[in-house]
Amino acid sequence: MTRFSLAVFAALLVLPSVAQAKIPVLDLHDDVCGFLAIQVKHSKVQGFSHFSCQTGNFVGVVASVKGSDMAIIASIQMKDRPGDQFLLQLSYPLVDGGTWSLRYTTDGYSSKLYKSGTYTVTK
């Protein structure tokens, strides 16, 4: 019984810190999205947008991009362009003034710049 009580006590000490894990929220300073929540776990990335954004859920990775530093590369849907595939690139680590770009493809081979800018980490 004592071991069980110690295990429960230890779990209660650890759980509040787990529940308070911070999920960064980005403001892209554009009509694309002002609320982009991102979870980075090792090199995997996932996130979602506020319902008022043009974007939806996304998944991606943290990787080194040719010609630049580390970045988050994620596949993302755009509500107003359901037939196109979009890639979101965010400079990493996530800090105020970081850069972002959104590219799209209609054929899967060539991509075009859709929009780009800087972001602010709001949470």
Q: Mean pLDDT, to the nearest integer, of 81-95?
A: 89
- Residue 73's CB is within 10 A of a number of other CB atoms, namely 16
* Section 111-122 average pLDDT: 93
pTM for this model (two decimals) = 0.76
What pLDDT does 106 receive?
84
Q: Give the pLDDT confidence score for residue 89 in this predicted structure.
A: 93
Residue ranges per domain, the chain?
A: 22-121
Please say whether the beta carbons of 10 and 3 come within 8 A.
no
Residue 21, number of CB atoms within 10 A of its CB: 7
